[in-house]
Structure 1
């Protein structure tokens, strides 16, 4: 019988968080510490890691040598938080390099980290991988199409990895949420949730062995809408954007 997840305990675990220099990754590292985990906090520039108690580690998810070196340096990891992300506001018919950059971080980079750390987790008994996706996995709005496509790929990556890693007793959880108040959306005048709430919901979900964590009601509604006529989503989006430009 294949293993598709069970209860996980973060206390006394060894976790690695990608993109931990700021934003959601910083909050993940802090909450993991609070729950009793040993934490490798990673960033392209380790000097950006200011949280006391973490083990700082250089990691650029788009650089295969950097990813390999991090896996060698953190050989005791059993919980991976695949958080590093990029939002450039690209459009598919706009700057193609920006689209590629978002895909390189949000999909290819995330997959590269999983490929490097899956053997590490296996050697340590299995463990858990949390892939940080988005409400954008299920909805593209004007001005975020490159990001949305990359996060849709990230979501289905989790669905596929769940099959491929079941044999080594590794839980794969996908996290989805709407806009939150971090550096990524600084300057965007939209409602934003508290990143702390998202992090706590995500880690509670991992501990409960959940396959997917949907952290807020707008994101739950968007997932439900996937089963409806897609025309209706465009009608609702038009209402939102029309109201903003009145």
Structure 2
């Protein structure tokens, strides 16, 4: 399949900023974290890769896709002045921004699955990973969006892509710029609003595929919590009504979140 390379000039015309594109790397998140460790201020820096050979998800899960079939990017986010208890909202606002950018650019209606996936029905369209550049208040947020991935190329049968969904617009330059516009606007509100921004919370609830559904939260040691996902709290944690009470779980508490059936 002939897949066009990203055009950095075109992306910068649509979204001016500190943007770099590399042909191949292990992980854009790992690269930005390494740049931070070497003394660079990565706040606002964006790194895109045409191919990730060691892309990562939550709990160290690996992910790979053919070159130029995804948008794989990471951005450095300054959390100076943002209380650590609000940091859990960063993956959620990233998912919300990604859904909005995809819908505006392609017309595909996606939804966010708590805490870090973007779905269309049951197909995984994108994943998100946020990592703290400790000890500093800097967070690297990475995302991988499947654009022209085919069913034969998908590393997981549950994966889908914009092409597989029939999207007419598959211009990765336009998609990248739209994602960065939506994401940076939401990050700026997160950075300047004390506590969770009410507008962000409501946007997330409207775009959530998790809230209102029956879920099974699998914890370390194969312990399970089953019930109805009723809400997210002020820290971005998921509240599950088990029928005998409401249990609150954070993204760090769980190994998997599955449909209850």
Asked if Structure 1 and Structure 2 have the same fold, meaning a TM-score greater than 0.5 normalized by the shorter chain, the answer is: no
When normalised by structure 1's length, the TM-score is 0.35
Greater RCO (Cα-Cα under 8 Å, separation 6 or more): 1
TM-score by length of structure 2 reads 0.34
